Structures are given as structure tokens and as C-alpha cells.
Structure 1
Amino acid sequence: MSDPDAPIAGGAAAQLLEDVRNSPEGPQVGAFFDFDGTVIAGYSVMAFMRHHLRNFDVHLSTTLKTLAAGTQKLETEEDFRKFLQITGRTWAGRTPEELEQLGQQLFRDEIGPSVYPEAWRLVRAHLERGHTVVLASSATRFQVGPAAKALGIEHTLYTALEVDADGKLTGHPDGRTPYGEGKAAAVKDFAAAHQVDLDTSFAYSNGNEDVPFLATVGRPTAVNPSGGLRRAAAERGWPVVDFAGRPWSGPVEVARTAGTYAGMMGGFATGLGLGLIGGSRRAGLNMGIGLGGDLSLLASGVSLDVHGAHHIWDSQPAVFLFNHQSQLDVLVLGGLLRGNFAPVAKKELATNPLFGPLMRLLETAFIDRADNAQARKALEPAVERLRSGVSVVIAPEGTRSATPSPGPFKKGAFHLAMQAGVPVIPLVFRNTGELMSRNAMIIHPGVVQVAVLPPIDVSGWDAEDLDERVESVRQLYLDTLAHWPGED
């Protein structure tokens, strides 16, 4: 049974997906997405401003002027250029390389986790139809570039910034800004250059300044619209959809989260103790994992909706793969697998005050992602555990993903399975990042959806085609997330 509260499961958002999936195929159909407020919740520039304030490299007056300007109506290109002159002072004198690196860091840590799951699924649906997908924003490439890469979007329209003879930013825009009529003009130019038929194309935006932009295509949609755009959409007969926002964290959620961790540690200690009394350390570990998982999920108000659970038990030992989104994944794994597994994790977790001691008890293989030789050596005990009948759990991305899209998969998990002669079993977590975002500490109640895919036999794999094989497994995750079992 699927979660009835899943954001994309019904209503206008589901109709958007259905419309895309029934639309003509091919690159002549464009899909133009605004960024701030449409693909992500909030405004990416604020992540940059917070960073600069934390590092004392921006004047408070500039921040206050930015905030004040942001509260004013920016209806025209000229309004936006004046706003940009204020915010641009922050970046004057910096190199594009500095800002690219900062943009990637902020996307990973702050901006990426605010991507709307509904927007991600819409992007995936357009890509599957072979449409020409474009991130069209008045933001800079330092803001939209990392998002486009993570979402698999090839094309971007953005505000270019002027670079002086010394290779440093002046703080001024370079050319026309894609804002208001400027964005409409940029879309028309792009369509002409890429043979995109605007009459059959799609566009999505949240701001009333984007009415001209939306009007360039035959299939516009107002997404999370401002009051002005909502009125314009009603007048023009455009579809309107509101994506579900991130849940709010209050005292109840804080208390639940504290109870969650207490339940995890208390349940694990109790189970381990009972097992040791019975004379079996492994039985104690298994009992502790299951009891700790159950109590922590109960305290957090999180339940599991699992498709294909029988695959967990049919082919053990195995290397279980999971797409890593947040710390909630650890609790889900305990409640899902129950025991008889050992984790593989990055070495930084060994010193985590909450999970470190627990993971050492679970005989975790800690690997240094920056040292390939050490990583291979650290996996040797995991091979022995697999050969002794104990499964291994690993996040093939090596770190938490910033968006619902899994990042590139590393090959270690697959080498491990090949060496031990066991299958890999993909565990696809759909929405742990929605209930607990990437760097958050607070867990929100809800239903975590999990799809356990059939075991994959890797006995015939070899080094020559390993990259292609690994990418095919990652594609299984993307396909499952875009077409959830029981919903299509």
C-alpha cells in the first residue's frame, strides 16, 4: 500500500506528471523550469548571504540592503538590475572559480536538500520523454549550475556576470538579465537556436514577473505561485499547482527526535544484553538491531511501507545497497533488515558521538574515501563476514545525496560482492530526505517508502565493463524513484 500523503501521489501534481508522460516525445519539446521557488523552496541567494555573514566577508549594510531590496516588488528588468547591483557588491573582486567552488559546497549542504521532490519527478519525466530540459533563472550560474548537474539538466539560462581583465568579477551583470521580459526573450532565442517548438513546450514558474516567460510556451504551469501569478493564471486559464513544503520543526518534533535516539540506544543495549546472556554475540547484535530499529521508529512516528520485502530474506548473505539521504536511513535500515548485517561506512562516522560507538559494535568497516589503497584493505574484513554468512550494508554513493537523485556510484560495493560471490540487493529509499533533510537533526513523522529490488547476480561481471554495469544499477534507482511500484 502506498503512502496516501506522498506529495506527488494525487491531485494537480499527479496530473502534471500524467500530462508530461502523455506528451509527444523528442527534443523539439522544451521544458523550461524557473529555479528559486519553483525547483527549490526559498531563494538560493540567501544561502550565499548566510555563508558570507558567517565568514565575516560581507558588510552587514550590504546584507540589510539585500534583504530590504528583496522585499520590494521586482516587476521589471530594471528593478532586478538595481537589486543585482546591491547583491553583486558581495562578489566583486572574487574569481569565478571561487564562486563555482562555493556554489557547489552550498548546493550540497543547503540548497540541494530544498529541492522539491515534485519538481525532481517532473524533471525526470521530461528527461524520459527526451525533451529539451532547461533551467531558466535570473540567478547566476554559481547558483543554478550545481543544481542543473545534480538534476541531470544539460541546458541553463542565467544572469552572466562581468569579469575584468584580471579575471575577477566586477559585481555587474554582463549583458541582458533573464528576468521578466528578459527571460521571455532568452527562452525565445534558445528555442530558435535549438529547434524547440514553443507551442508544444512546457514552462514552470512561481513569480508574477514570469508571466511573459510562461506565455512563451503552449503549456505553462504556475507552480507555488505568488498572489500576482495566481491571479494571472486564473485569468489566462493556466494550471496551478502547489508543491508540499518542508514540515515545520517545533517542540513536539524535537521531543520525538530525542525519544527516537533514546529508543535506538536503549533497544540496542537491551537486545545485545539479552543475546549475550544467551551466550551468542551475533544473536545479541541481531536482537539489538531489530529492537532498536522498532523502538526508534515508533518514537519518531515513522512507519515503513515496503515493496518487495521478500527479496531481503530470499538471497542472504548479500551486499545491500541504499541511496543515502539523511541520518534517518540508519533507523530505517535497522527496522527493515532486523539484523545479520555489518555496515560499511566512511571513516568520519567512527568519531560520531551518537552513531560511532554503535557502528563499532556492529563491526563496521570504516573506509577512507580519499585513500583507495586503505579503502580496499578496509573492505577485506567485510568479504570475510559475507563468506561467513553475514550480509553487508553500504551506500554506493559514499555520502548523502543533496537531491532525490542518487549521486555517482562508487565501485567498492560491487567489487565486494564479486569477491565474496554474493548478489547485490538494491534498497531504494524514496523519501527519507523529506522527513529528515540531509544535514538536519530533527525527524518528522510520516511513512518512509522503500522498494527492495530483486537480487542482482554479479558473478559474471568483470573489470572491463564494470563502469557500465554499475551505472545500470544506478539507473535502476532513478527509474524506481520516477516510477514508484504500484503508482503507475
Structure 2
Amino acid sequence: MTDPALAAALERIRSAPDGPQVGAFFDYDGTVIDGYSAATFYRHRLRRMQVGLREVAQLIMLGLRGLEDEEDFGRLLTLGFAGWAGHSEQELLDLGEHLFAGSIASTVYPEAWQLVNAHRQKGHTVVLASSATRFQVGPAARALGIDDVLCTEVEVNDAGQLTGRTMGNPLWRSGKAAAVKTFAKVHGIDRRSSFAYSNGDEDVPFLLSVARATAVNPQPDLAAEADERGWPVLAFTSRGRPSLVEAVRSAAAIGGTIGGFATGIALGMLNGSRREGVDHGAVLGAEVGLALAGVQVNVQGEANLYERRPAVYLFNHQSQLDMVLLCRLMQRSFTGVAKKELRNDPMFGVFLRYADMAFVDRGDPAQARAALEPAVAKLRDGVSLVVAPEGTRSATPAIGAFKKGAFHVAMQAQVPVVPIVIRNSGQLMAPKSLVISSGVVDVAVLSPVPTTRWTPQNLDRQVARVREMYVKTMRNWPR
């Protein structure tokens, strides 16, 4: 169920004028992500013993005293940037992408994603405005589909190395507000119709730079300011430690899923049918697991799951919950593709092997193609194939690039592909987490796409066409 305050925020966006003259300015740390990206970068340096005792002592002193003005914040930035002096700009760009994909992406608030997407649907100019650097903010902007970034720029010398100094004023407090006003003037944005979102006490001037301010998980001073000015307040769900209830329920759900799989397989073995055992196990495991987790599945276009079998079913992969979800959707006569590491997974490996899953080495394209070859024979025998064309779980709800393996298989077997678009399973089970939150997963099953006219020459175009179906569905979810 959507939080009423979030529903009201989305309605304010839908009621706003269309077009790029309306700006939507988002703070980053604590607003778009749960936590602070600088801490992730700092932990990276600590793990590599790149932080000296003097730097630690200076940070402690600043922390004890607190940041009172832009000068204090400037000293903090100088201290942090000094540790990167001499490193190449490209090294930091690569590190930013690595840390975002590996750690930070899983902390993106799903609610922030919804707000950004709602503004994009209205054609608004969406901007990430942060005191952080481009190395921290850039990967998130790309993942969220945001073209414009306002951030604290760092100095790079002629050799492409960081000097350890900033360029211009940091985007903190009045500096961020000034940057928004300048950006709006240059890009023809009407600040009287524009939006801004932030969590920090220091961002009151930033929020005052537009007419439609919203406090997100506000710190105490900002909460008081929001109350006085009548600003809407949003409370995003923490991506931190789960509650005891969530942990217990998740353990029960995982146990129930495994028990359901095992029971179904045992029933199939009694009847002398491996295929029947796999089908019973999939249904029982999914139904029991989802029920114990408190997860409901809202499916649109469910008839498309059964209209043209066998087929290659494609899904956008967001979390470990997807495997159970797909068992609930498919129910019978299907197998799938999984990364080779899952072959020996202590919880599900035995069931995946029993179901004749194709295990692929994502780092070895030749092996991956070879592993998919038997799938053509299975399709011709009436067994459908379920594949994540992105090749791996997406770090965010954004649709990633599609690999062509599943499309080659469908073309060779002359069976249709059926796009399964999953909107929010990652919201209920975050990447690298075993905790399942209760809620509703939305699924849209699109019409089967024939492959009879596909050829090796036009395959790239067909892959792009199918991917665009996912992008459009996510952007304009069917009602």
C-alpha cells in the first residue's frame, strides 16, 4: 500500500505543468540514498590503509566541533580531497561506478525513484544537486536517468590527476542554493513552479530557492522549518537493519519455500515423473514462501503467460525474490538460466540442478552460449525457458542493457518471447539481503512477440525493440 504522504507528493507532481521549464532538484545523500556516499569512499580508503593518523585526528576534531558554516564545510572537503591527490580522474570515475554498483545502489530509496520517475514522465528538468563530487553523484544520476548534476567540482591538473583541491565554492548551504538559481536562469526554468527535495538542516536555503519544497526524512532543524512553513514532509523507509518481525518472517518464508520445493519434488518422484515433481515443487514452494513473507503478487496480462507455450520468458531481474516470484507465475513446464555460482547454493542449488537449469559463466561468453544450446531442444519438447536478458540482477529499477543469448535461442527454436516486467521486487528484498518485506509486487506480462521473421542480421534491432517495451512499461505502468 502506498504511503499517503508519498501518494500526495506524486499527485502534486502529476498536477504540475508539463515541460522542461519545471525543475525538480533532488539532494543526494540522505534524500535519494539512505546514508552518505562519502562514507563508502572513505571505507574504501580505510580498507586499503590509505588514511593516516593525522587525517583521522583532524576528522575527529571537526566531527566533535560540528559544521557551523561554509568555511567549516570547506575545511572538511579539503581534508577529504587531500587523500585523493595524485590519483587520476579516470581512476576516481571508475571507482565511483564500482562503489555505486557494489554498495550504494542498494541504498537508493524506492520512494525517491518513484518521485524522479514521476517528474520525468511530466517532462520536467530533473537535477541531482549535491555537495558531493561528480564521482559520487554521477553513477546515481545515470542509473536514475537524470541528465543534469550540480555538485562540488574538484581540480584536475593537466596530467589528469586530482590536486586535492576544489574548484569554486562547495555546493553546501548557500552555495547549493546559488547553484540552483544560476542553473534555473541559464536553462529557462521557472523556480515558482519548481520542486526541491532534501533531508538536511543545511539545505533550508536550497529548498527556499524554489516554490515547492519537500522535506525528506528531515533532520531536527529542517523538520521545525518545514512545520513553520507548511512544507510537506516525507518519511522514506530505511534500508538499514531489519526489524525482528521482518527477520523472523523472512526466515520462515525461506524455510517454507525450501520445504514446498522439497515436498513437490517428493510427490513427483512418487508418481515417477521428474517433470511433474519440478512443477509441483515450483508451485508449492512459491505459494508457501510468498504467503509466509506476506508478499502479494498483482499481475496484469496474466493470460499472456499461457497463450503461446512453449516460449522464452524474459524478466528484468531486481532481487532474489524474483526466483520465487517466477515460480508463482510460470507454474508448469519451464526451466531457466542461472549464474554458475548458484549451482552449489546451499539453499536452492539442489532444486535448480533437479530442474535442469542452465548454469552460465557470466565472464565466459563462449561457455554461456554453450550452456544455452540444450535450451533449444527443451523448447522443441514443450519446456519453456525463463531468462533475465540483463544477465544479472540490476542494481536499481532501471532497465539495463540486454544480452542476446535468450533472443538467439528463441529465434533458433522459432518460439515467441514473452516480456515479464517486474516493477518493485527490489523494494521488498534489497540486493544482497535475505530479508523480505511484506507488500505487493507489481507484474505486467506483455503480449508474446513472434520471432518467425527474426534473422541474425536484424537481431540487434529486435533486441532493442523488446528492451524498449520494458522501458515504456516502467515509465507508463498500465493501470
* TM-score in terms of structure 1 length: 0.90
Task: Measure, in 2, the Cα distance between the counterparts of 1:299 and 1:315.
Answer: 32
1:319-398 equivalence runs, <5 A = 319-398=312-391
Q: Give the C-alpha shift of residue 75 in structure 1.
A: 4.8
Question: Deviation string for 1:252-296 (max 9, x for gaps)?
Answer: 444433333333333222222221221211111111222222233
Match of 1:178 among 150, 171, 175: 171
1:282 aligns with 2:266: no
Q: Is the 8 A contact 1:33 1:203 kept in 2?
A: yes
Q: What is the DSSP-based 3-state SS (H/G/I as helix, E as strand, rest coil) of the residue aligned with 2:138?
A: helix
Tell me the SS of whatever aligns to 1:448: strand
CA distance in 2, matches of 1:67, 1:391: 59
1:426 maps to a residue whose letter is P
Partner secondary structure for residue 269 of structure 2: helix
1:407 corresponds to 2:400 = yes
Q: How does 1:55-134 map to 2 (within 5 A)?
A: 55-59=48-52, 62=55, 66=59, 69=62, 73-134=66-127
1:222 is aligned to 2:215: yes
1:153 partner SS: coil
Change (3 A) 1:454 1:64: farther
Confirm or deny that 1:269 pairs with 2:262: yes
**Distance across 2 between alignment mates of 1:314 and 1:64:** 66
Partner of 1:452: 445
Contact kept, 8 Å, 1:293 with 1:334, in 2: the verdict is: yes
Q: Displacement, 1:87?
A: 2.3
Answer whether contact 2:258 2:348 (CA < 8 A) is retained. no
Alignment equivalent of 2:233, drawn from 237, 240, 255: 240
CA distance in 2 between counterparts of 1:13 and 1:24 reads 19
Alignment gaps of 5+ in structure 1: none
Call closer, same or farther: CA 1:318–1:77 in 2, change over 3 Å: same
- C-alpha deviation, 1:479, in angstroms: 3.8
Instruction: Tell me if the contact between 2:121 and 2:475 (Cα under 8 Å) persists in the aligned partners.
Output: no
**2:204 corresponds to which residue?**
211
Secondary structure, counterpart of 2:130 in structure 1: strand
Question: Is the contact made by 1:34 and 1:204 (CA closer than 8 Å) also made in structure 2?
Answer: yes
DSSP 3-state at the match of 2:306: helix
| Distance in 1 between residues matched to 2:377 and 2:370, nearest whole Å | 12
CA offsets, 1:32-64, max 9 Å, x none? 111111111111112222233333333466457
Separation in 1 of the partners of 2:191 and 2:386? 47
**Mean Cα deviation higher: 129-138 or 408-417:** 408-417
**Are 1:297 and 1:303, in contact at CA under 8 Å, matched by a contact in 2?**
yes
Pick aligned residue for 1:41 from 34, 43, 54: 34
- SS of the residue corresponding to residue 136 of structure 2 reads helix
Tell me, what secondary structure is at the counterpart of 1:304? Answer: strand
Residue 443 and residue 61 in structure 1: after superposition, are their counterparts in 2 closer, same or farther (change >3 A)? Answer: farther
Q: Secondary structure at the match of 1:268?
A: helix
Does 2:8 align with 1:18? Answer: no
State the AA in 2 paired with 1:455: P
Q: 1:78 to 1:399 in 2, by over 3 A?
A: same
- Does the aligned pair in 2 maintain the 1:49–1:63 contact within 8 Å? no
Secondary structure at the counterpart of residue 391 of structure 2: coil
State whether residues 20 and 123 of structure 2, in contact with CA within 8 Å, keep that contact through their aligned partners in structure 1: yes
Percent of aligned positions that are identical = 53
Structure-1 separation of matches of 2:63 and 2:461:
46
1:312 aligns with 2:305: yes
1:53 aligns with 2:70: no
**1:366-417: CA deviation from partner (whole Å, max 9, x where unpaired):** 2233333333222211111111111111111111111122222222222222
The answer for the alignment partner of 2:147 in structure 1 is 154
Q: Distance in 1 between matches of 2:56 and 2:258?
A: 43
CA contact (8 A) 2:216 2:236 kept: yes
Which residue type is aligned with residue 220 of structure 1?
A
Q: Distance in 1 between matches of 2:120 and 2:260?
A: 44
Amino acid at match of 2:74: R
| Counterpart-to-counterpart distance in 2, 1:422 and 1:71 | 65
1:61 and 1:348 map into 2 onto residues whose CA distance is 43
* Alignment-derived partner of residue 421 in structure 1: 414
Report the alpha carbon displacement of residue 108 of structure 1 after superposing the two structures with TM. 1.0
- Match of 2:134, as an amino acid? R
Residues 451, 186 of structure 1: CA spacing in aligned structure 2 closer, same or farther, 3 A cutoff? same
Spell out structure 1 runs of 4+ moving beyond 6 A.
Answer: none
Conserved in 2, the CA contact under 8 Å of 1:76 and 1:179? no
Structure 2: state its 5+ residue gaps: none
Specify the code of the residue in structure 2 equivalent to 1:142.
F
SS of structure 2 residue aligned to 1:138: coil
Structure 1 CA distance, aligned partners of 2:445 and 2:57? Answer: 49
Does the 8 Å contact 1:191/1:197 carry over to 2?
yes
Contact 1:134 1:154 in 2 (8 A): yes
Cα distance, 1:71 vs structure 2: 6.9
Q: Distance in 2 between matches of 1:434 and 1:300?
A: 14
Instruction: Name 2:467's counterpart in structure 1.
Output: 474
> C-alpha displacement at 1:218, in angstroms?
2.8
Q: Distance in 2 between matches of 1:387 and 1:71?
A: 69
Q: Confirm or deny: 8 A CA contact 1:206 1:229 kept in the other structure.
A: yes
- Which range is displaced more, 50-59 or 273-282? 50-59
What code does the residue aligned with 2:349 have?
Answer: G
